[in-house]
Amino acid sequence: MNCDVKTVIAPVNIAVIKYWGKRDEELILPLNDSVSATLDTSVMCAKTSVCANPHFAEDEIWLNGKKESFSNQRLQNCLKEIKQRAYNEKSIDDIFLTWKVHICSENNFPTAAGLASSAAGYACLVTALAKLYKVKSDISSIARLGSGSACRSVYGGFVRWHAGVNPDGSDSIATQIADSSHWPQMRALILVVGDTKKKISSTIGMKRSADTSELLKYRVQYCVPKRTDDISKAIKEKNFGKFAEITMKDSNQFHAVCMDSYPPYVYLTNISHTIIDLVHKYNEISGETRIAYTFDAGPNACLYLLENEVPKVMSLIQHIFPSSSDKFVTGLNFKEEGLNEEFLKILSIPIQAKDSIKYVIYTKVGDGPTEIKDGSHLLNKDGTPVKSVLI
């Protein structure tokens, strides 16, 4: 048996205007538009190999080294929809669509820790399947069926997911605001505070908020439409101060919505709040907004900042959050910068307990999913996972 294996890597994205709340649970249609930056796959990515063969007895999937059940409804919806698209586009022979598929996928970062792993994973899966079935049209609406935020990982740079109004979700798609080369100085620091699985998943949390939070209704109607337009403009004009202010306000409002839900739930920890304090004080002392924070459904912070600010901020983080690890910072290279005593005094943030921040990932804005053509597949030609991916 010799099948044609397609392999794709896909990026994580971190929202600056948050998606929180669905108007349709099945089709994963959001209550509001959202905006994100796609992060460089050279630092964080999902990798997926797919193949189809008439001799496969059933659809099979291996995730992060383990065989998983294929019964997951979202997974099945993605596969069904991509086959439907291939059929409509007449992109391949119909017989090919009856063959079973094998899928093998892995992330190079912790899953389900609020690190957007499902976004990268589903964007990767759907792009790999689109390559296999030669689907040419926009696939963000198919990635959306796997996980809402995944539709934004289908494009690089800065991306907007349009909530859309059609009941069938046909206009709930992602589009690019600007590509990855547009704002080359933009950087992201992911401060990993906890890398264990979150207590309340995004899916459950946002359902509770959509059912019970008055603040969410207000946010959707009055805040998000203006913020989305304003931040798109700030991105186009490379206005960091405006970009950062909107990003922080939107993150804060999202976490306020979690508290406004009934029963309330929280993702932020004391360390998350110390990071928030640190950023506001840093900006105040600097006399302008130079760092933005944003938090997803977990305690980890994503700081957006410009490249020239990185050495100072990195030194500061290492000073305030001492670590016992010799691999505290991973990702892109940077220069260390000595800290000014006077600056630390005015900042007056106490040094935190060792390992309060587990590690830092330093990355930048990057491109969308890419097909890997160097032969480093996760599936062998016979459709079995390559040995090194199995645990």
Binding site for ligand DP6 (CB under 6 A): 15, 18-19, 28, 34, 118, 147-149, 202-203, 296-297
> What is the radius of gyration, based on Cα positions, of the chain?
21
Minimum distance between the CB of residue 111 and ligand DP6, rounded to whole angstroms? Answer: 12
- Identity of the residue, 143 or 313, whose beta carbon is nearer to ligand DP6 in the bound complex: 143
DSSP secondary-structure letter at 219? Answer: I
Burial call 14-28: b when 16+ CB within 10 Å, e when fewer: bbbbbbbbbbeeebb
Taking the complex as a whole, the smallest distance from the CB of residue 237 to ligand DP6 amounts, in Å, to: 23
How does DSSP assign 112-175, residue by residue? TSSS-HHHHHHHHHHHHHHHHTT--S--HHHHTTT-GGGGGGGS-SEEEE-----TT-TT--EE
Query: Of the two residues 105 and 202, which places its CB atom closer to ligand DP6 in the complex?
Result: 202
* Nearest residue (CB) to ligand DP6, 15 versus 50: 15
Cβ proximity to ligand DP6: between 149 and 356 the closer is: 149
- Six-digit token string for 76: 């099945």
CB of 15 to ligand DP6, least distance (A): 3
Residues 12 and 128 sit within 8 Å (Cβ to Cβ): no
Q: In angstroms, what is the minimal distance from the CB of 78 to ligand DP6? A: 12
Scanning 151-309, the segments in alpha helix (DSSP H) are: 202-212, 214-218, 224-237, 240-260, 270-286
Which of 74, 319 has the CB closer to ligand DP6? 74
Minimum gap (Å) between residue 152 Cβ and ligand DP6? 7
Compute the least distance from the CB of residue 39 to ligand DP6, in Å: 12
Which residue, 14 or 82, has its beta carbon nearer to ligand DP6?
14
Residues recorded for the chain: 391
